Structure 1
Amino acid sequence: MVHSRLQTASPRLRMSECNKLLEMVESGKPCTIRGLARRFNLTHYHLLHLFKQQMGISLGHLLTRQRLLQAASLLAESNIRIKEIAHEAGYEHTSSFARAFQRQFRMTPQRYREQGHSQEKLTKSAKFFSGREEFER
């Protein structure tokens, strides 16, 4: 008999499940909190709570970081308009994207592009800003 996670005695996410979530987020494939919650047979509220409890960081923040890293890669490696990159990253308004990008990378998307950040620099930034090593136990 198949039981949903919500009916099980253990309300915690196992580390292996958290690692699977991290892999899914970092895969570069579009994902949402609701979609991830469905994959783990949880409500999105429960997934957010359990992930934060287990990992000490918000799943929403991780998704935002990943989207911004993908946007940074597009800025560095393509001539796609910033408005289109913002939309691809899940932002309806370019101004919201620019604010989030500046918080993450300490510069505007335009300046990031003008400075011609290489993939190596992007990888270093990703490691610095992602805090991924904090999650590996």
Structure 2
Amino acid sequence: MDDALTRLAQLTRVHPRLDLLCRFADSWALPHDPEPDGAAPFHIVSRGSCTLELPDQRRSLALVAGDVVVLPHGARHTMRSDTALPHHAGPIVLTESHNGAVTVRTNADGQDASCEVICGHFRFEQARSNPLLAALPDALHLAAGRDAALARLGLLVEAVRAELQEARPGAASIAANLASALFTMIIRAHMDQANELRGILALLGNPTTGRAVVRMLEEPARPWTLEELADASHTSRAGLVRAFRKQADVAPLGLLAQLRFQAAAQLLTSTELPVSEVGVRVGYQAEEAFSRAFKRHFGVAPSEFRHAAI
């Protein structure tokens, strides 16, 4: 499963961006509007505690130092102190400065900050057809400080904080790369902790369907038949189809097509390979057939897709 997760993370093409280092004192609240498709805000609590409210879901999450929360689908939310602002309170006064690595936002005004939060975004390529993104819930909350199994996640959080705090040369680049690794660790922890998985993560978590998905990820260009995938999964063709439908409401060969197009999109945007070679690498021997199928999936021809990404 770990190798499959590595490949899936590579196909997902996540670009982290660290926006703010927020330092707060007293009572405070900051609302965040919904994000566009493909933009997933995240918050890392590096000191103190706070609350994340999800008004559309009518729930809130209590966060403490070491916790990470990601909103994969850009949900509207509010970050606030544990004690809510009085109804008559006006907007909080914030000052901003850049420390050489990140913008620092604060209302402390010379006071010691009781809460510190690192805020950023993960940007997903091809968000509308991304099987990993589709499998994620509205909110991913990892309580690194409360679970010994997530000790390494806590160390990574502290490393990000230290880079932004010290603001030494190269700190912004180092912190962003650490955040990219953090995303994969968050997905792995979600698979370990979640009571219920969905989509491709549910398929990977099931022994029968997981074998088939691993084989697809290992050899996306192979002309897989349903019978070959069923044999690899130690089940019948009908059994494999039923298992895929039950776990993720998708057909095995339908998922294979999604993974192939995800791989093709990655090759088009990250290499200069000819369109014909990209097609071969994802299982299409004829360029014309690949271009037609790609356009049906993404709405544009491969060459247009590549040009738009430049």
Taking structure 1 as the reference length, what is the TM-score of the superposition? 0.61
Q: How does 1:1-137 map to 2 (within 5 A)?
A: 16-17=206-207, 20-21=210-211, 23-24=213-214, 28-31=217-220, 32=224, 33-116=226-309
Greater strand percent: which structure? Answer: 2
- Coordinate RMSD, CA, aligned: 2.7
Q: Is the 8 A contact 2:241 2:252 kept in 1?
A: yes
Q: Which ranges in structure 2 are unaligned for 5 or more consecutive residues?
A: 1-202
Deviations 1:26-78 (A, max 9, x none): 7x321534443222212445423442355321111110110111011000010
What is the CA distance between 1:24 and its match in structure 2?
1.7
Alpha carbons 1:51, 1:57 under 8 Å: kept = yes
Rg larger for: 2
Looking at structure 2, the residues matched to 82 and 34 of structure 1 have their Cα atoms a distance apart, in angstroms, of 30
> In 2, distance between residues paired with 1:94 and 1:45?
32
Sort the Cα spacing of 1:41 and 1:23 in 2 relative to 1 into closer, same or farther, 3 A: closer
Contact 1:52/1:58 (<8 A) preserved: yes
TM-score by length of 2: 0.30
Question: Across the two proteins, how many residue pairs are aligned to each other?
Answer: 103
Q: Tell me, yes or no, if the aligned pair for 2:295 and 2:301 is still in contact at 8 Å.
A: yes
Q: Which is helix-richer, 1 or 2?
A: 1
Amino acid in structure 2 at the alignment position of 1:17: P
| CA–CA separation in structure 2 for the residues paired with 1:49 and 1:92 | 30
Question: How big is the shift at 1:109?
Answer: 0.2
Equivalent-residue separation in structure 1 for 2:289 and 2:296 (angstroms): 11
